[in-house]
Structure 1
Amino acid sequence: MRHPPRSVLLAVAGAAALIGSVTVPVVTASGAAPACSVEYSVTSQWDSGFQGAVKVTNSTAAMSSWSLAFDFAGGQKLTQGWNATWSQSGTTVTAASESYNGSLATGASVSAGFIASWSGSNTVPNSFKLNGTSCNTAVEPSPTPEPTDPAEDGPPVLRASGNKLVDAGGVTRRLLGVNRSGGEFMCVQGRGIFDGPVDDASVKAIADWKANTVRIPLNEECWLGLSNIDPAYAGANYINAVKDLVAKVKAHGMTPVVELHWTHGQYTGNSAGCSDVHASCQKPMPDMQYTPSFWASVANTFKNDRTVVFDLFNEPYPDRATSTTTQAWQCWRDGGSCPGIGYEVAGMQDLVDSVRGTGAANLILAGGIAYSNDLSQWLTYRPADPAGNLAAAWHVYNFNTCANESCWNSTLAPVAAQVPLVAGEIGENTCAHGFIDQVMKWFDDRGLSYLGWTWNTWDCSSGPSLISSYDGTPTAFGTGLRDRLRALNG
């Protein structure tokens, strides 16, 4: 969805660079076995940065917390990390355990990842210490940890089964809830991270509507901490704020959907939202320079929590740039040099590959063309997913082309017959709910999912707004969704 007016990293030079395997055992004077081992890998590398990972295995007595230290020898600078508290002092990098992964039994392993900058050379560290004790090293790709089980009263782990979403017990589930806009635009505008409060009370107000899902739009430049973003709202600060909101959503039993909304890449063609190269508006397609890195980082952040759903890209509109619909769908899936788009495009297949390349098996949503309003050839061009956990996403407003039952019956029904279908955004700019009532009935009759746009206190006639206060007071438009959710889930 476009927003009301406001005061507004796999940049791969070649294929992902994996460092060859080298093992340097550390043996004590008595010939005793090493106390620990570390596998260090560079999983991808680009002109000015790289993504790395470490896997630590404890060979001594069990420990309740751990701290891994190593030195960068090539001037590398840490920018962000996950699955540990990362820091750098001079050349020394430290990864300290989080509260959830501090316990490390004898023979047990733990993995963590990071992103760093480099120039000149990207020399591999050759010594590591775990809680002050030297370890041997091996340089190879790290395996994927198994996902953790969610709390019993938390949201379910969802997977696609035929044309349904099901939980671990095989019970059919629906995603029914709202969007929480702000994370896509506030940071790039230098005004914060979220628009309005995201404290526990404001999240509870969403749950009180009997919503079971919250979609959270994001900005790739803010997540990756690019230089044009105020550091207060970028990199680790931004990531931690998103993780905190995800945790609050889960704490109220709702499914978090993290979604890429605004991206890098200059587009000034038909229907351009802005002329800015930066991620300050909706672009027709994601960019190859940064979006695969964004999704690799997001997937690494949440891959151990499969209750989190990934929505690849908000509203693709390559059809406004290309001369034929076939070209648009080819661009949508395959990316590359797309007609009418001046930057290299990351297609949906590239993004699926980025997510799955981390080992993440989370449910993925992929919206079609025409601002996700056209799914007419989604089944023909759907990306291959080795995890088999892919659903179709669709958006509809009263001003879209496919905004009547005839179109839904002819283009949506065939998709919904084969894969799960999620209406990631539904809304209208009338400050009423007559149109979304029709949408919700069509989806309810078929047991499908939908999310209202948006849980923000905007003018509902300029940007469909569900609430007039973050305590959950609905607008006239929002009343329709609130009453429907309470009737279904109350």
Structure 2
Amino acid sequence: MAALTLPASAAPTAGCAVDYTVQSQWPGGFTANIAITNLGSPITSWTLSFGFPDSGQKVGNGWSATWSQDGAQVAAESMSWNGALATNASASVGFVGSWIGQNPEPSSFAVNGTTCTGSVISPTASPSSSPTASPTPSPSNPSGPAPQLRVSGNKLVTSDGTPYRLLGVSRSSGEYACVQGKGLWDNGPVDQASVDAMKTWNIHAVRIPLNEECWLGLNGSPSGAVYQQGVKDYVSLLVANGINVILDLHWTWGAWTNGPAWHCTDVHATCQKPVPDAQYAPQFWASVASTFKGNNAVVFDLFNEPYPEAGADWNKTLGWQCLRDGGTCTGISYEVAGMQDLVDAVRGTGATNVVMVSGLEWANDMREWLQYRPADPTGNLVASWHAYSFNACASAACWDSQIAPLAQQVPVVLGEFGQDNCGFDYMQGLTNWADTHGLSYLAWTWNPWGCTSGAVLIKDWAGTPEPGVGEGYRAHLRGQNPYPTR
């Protein structure tokens, strides 16, 4: 390990540490990861530099920095999303390299032109010098149980009326594992250690997709009481650790035979359907609401990503009517449960939990949400929006025209978002926009599936971030406070 030292002119105190690790090596090639930790006062950007000991060593593709090489000298400049490092904060960068003959590790590093010394440097100051600025506050890690939530105007608030944002991740597997013979959580941990890993990212909310048939005991293994108990146990653990939970109805019953070939035609809950079914979805929500009523730290996301307009040749008016009112919908072979049916099922149990209702086009089109929102006697209704880089509404101009006016009327929760590669540029722009407009957001997904085409945040259940997307989102979350006014 070597250490980096920042120049005294850049901050009242300086000092950093670097850990250079060759993660894998093969004849002629290798991958390296470099962890940089700021030991001094906060900095806003950095340039890491070092020299390769052997002339045959070269940097190829790199991530989480802008890489360059001149002869044996290498430089890595911070990105817009990872340049700011608070005291004791870290950034991780890496690259794929090549070598000829041998591959020794660099022994000397520098940042912003200053050679590493391995100590914190405090500049000499006269007795009349002004005191140094306070370090950037550390992330507001969850402590105590998650807050009970309700809607007030266009904000989510805690029981005492304090504004609150749901900031976190979706944790997939509860929707598919039971019907694919993979248990309930696809062999992933749901223990205290796994929750502690989430807390190191400053995660305050987790969205859990569920399977309708597994919950009701109609299909899959585990199903029925065993499945329900597993969900209840995980929810209890998260809430006890200060993390709000969103329960999302993701996979449902009903054959979808009118869509493109890639759509699922299985009548069972083995994939995403265009709208929930009247056969079982109201029963599902009545059961879930009965289970969690009285615990308003839990939020109900009524249906993941509706697209009923696909069955009506993309007629949006018919799509909105189908989504709200259900019944017999054009191009859909099963009886539909509308959002009003599902709100009624929840409220019929006496549950007052906050309820999320989506828009059309896989929850990306929210333009007529206000006109077609279901009635809710409790007023605890929020708009559920999804925004991936490949969706139709995927630019700040669209968000300004379609989402900002909605967010002025009701709380908007960005229940899923991501981009179609493993970078963070689109997600950075979206989260910055959401922060400015007071939206909640949860990225897809907290699952170690390997990021090859995007939407995967972690490399393992310990929370090691994927380069680019995971590192960027972790750094962004660590700079957020769910209490926007504090």
TM-score greater than 0.5 by the shorter chain? yes
Give the superposition deviation at 1:152.
Answer: 8.8
SS of corresponding position for 2:248? strand
| Matched-pair contact (CA < 8 Å) for 1:329–1:381 | yes
Compared CA separation, residues 300 and 152, structure 1 to 2 (3 A): farther
1:285 aligns with 2:275: yes
Contact map agreement 1:179 1:214 (CA 8 A) in 2: yes
Q: How does 1:106-145 map to 2 (within 5 A)?
A: none
Within a 5 Å distance, the mapping from 1:171-320 to structure 2 comes to 171-195=162-186, 196-226=188-218, 228-230=219-221, 233-271=222-260, 273-320=263-310
Tell me the CA shift for residue 462 of structure 1: 3.9
Q: Deviation per CA, 1:158-215, whole angstroms, max 9, x where unpaired?
A: 1111101111111100000000000000001122101211111111111111111000
Question: Match for 1:445 among 423, 436, 447?
Answer: 436
Contact 2:352 2:378 in 1 (8 A): yes
The C-alpha deviation readout for 1:38-81, integer Å capped at 9, x for no partner, is: xxxxxxxxxxxxxxxxxxxxxxxxxxxxxxxxxxxxxxxxxxxx
- The counterpart of 1:358, out of the listed 343, 349, 352, is 349
- Which aligned pairs between 1:446-465 and structure 2 lie closer than 5 A? 446-462=437-453, 464-465=455-456
Q: Which amino acid aligns with 2:398?
A: C
**In structure 1, how many angstroms separate the alpha carbons of the residues matched to 2:416 and 2:385?**
7
2:426 and 2:213 mapped to 1: Cα distance? 35
Residue type of the alignment partner of 1:353: D
Q: Does 1:487 align with 2:479?
A: yes
Q: Which residue does the alignment assign to 1:371? A: 362
Task: After TM superposition, list the pairs within 5 Å mapping 1:374-385 onto structure 2.
Answer: 374-385=365-376
Corresponding residue for residue 5 of structure 1: none
What TM-score does the superposition give when structure 1 sets the normalisation length? Answer: 0.67
SS across alignment from 1:187: helix
Please identify the structure whose Cα radius of gyration is greater: 2
- Equivalent residues of 2:143, 2:242 under 8 A apart: no
Equivalent residues of 1:218, 1:260 under 8 A apart: yes
Shift of 1:270: 2.2
Distance 1:463 1:188 in 2: 25
Identity within the alignment, %: 56
- Give yes or no for contact 1:364–1:389 (8 Å, CA) kept in 2: yes
Q: Distance in 1 between matches of 2:428 and 2:473?
A: 8
> Could you tell me which residue of structure 2 aligns to residue 337 of structure 1?
328
Query: What residue number does 1:166 align with?
Result: 157
How high is the TM-score relative to the length of structure 2?
0.68
> Cα offset for 1:274?
1.2
CA contact (8 A) 1:458 1:464 kept: no
Structure 1 residues 172 and 328, CA gap change in structure 2 (3 angstroms): same
Distance 2:450 2:264 in 1: 22
Q: Deviations over 1:329-352 (max 9, x none)?
A: 000100000001000000000000
Which whole-Å CA distance do the structure 2 matches of 1:320 and 1:412 have between them? 22
Deviation of 1:463 after TM superposition, in Å, equals 5.4
Q: Cα deviation per residue 1:303-354 (whole Å; 9 max; x = unaligned)?
A: 0211111000000011211131100000010000000100000000000000
Q: Aligned partners of 1:479, 1:357: CA distance in 2, in Å?
A: 43
Does the CA-based 8 Å contact 1:396-1:423 persist in structure 2? yes
Q: CA RMSD in A?
A: 1.4
Q: Where do 5+ consecutive residues of structure 2 fail to align?
A: 1-141
1:433 aligned onto 2:424:
yes
Structure-2 separation of matches of 1:331 and 1:256: 28
> 2:198 is aligned with what amino acid?
I
> Secondary structure at 1:258's aligned position in 2?
strand
Structure 1 residues 457, 152: CA separation in 2 closer, same or farther (over 3 Å shift)?
Answer: closer
AA aligned to 1:345 is: V
DSSP 3-state at the match of 1:202: helix
- Report matched runs for 1:39-78 at 5 Å: none
What is the distance in 1 between the residues matched to 2:207 and 2:169? 6
Equivalence for 1:153: 144
Letter in 2 for 1:448: L
SS in 2 for 1:482: helix
Name the structure 2 match of 1:395.
386
User: Per-residue deviation at 1:489?
Assistant: 3.4
CA distance in 2, matches of 1:450, 1:229: 31
| 1:212-232 CA-partner distances (Å, limit 9, x unpaired) | 100000000000000x323xx
Residue 394 of structure 1, CA deviation: 0.4
Whole-Å Cα distance in 2 between the matches of residues 414 and 489 of structure 1? 24
Q: Hey, what's the Cα distance between the residues in 1 that align with 2:267 and 2:239?
A: 35
Counterpart of 2:465 (choices 458, 466, 474) is 474
Aligned amino acid, residue 256 of structure 1: V
Which range is displaced more, 401-410 or 292-301? 401-410
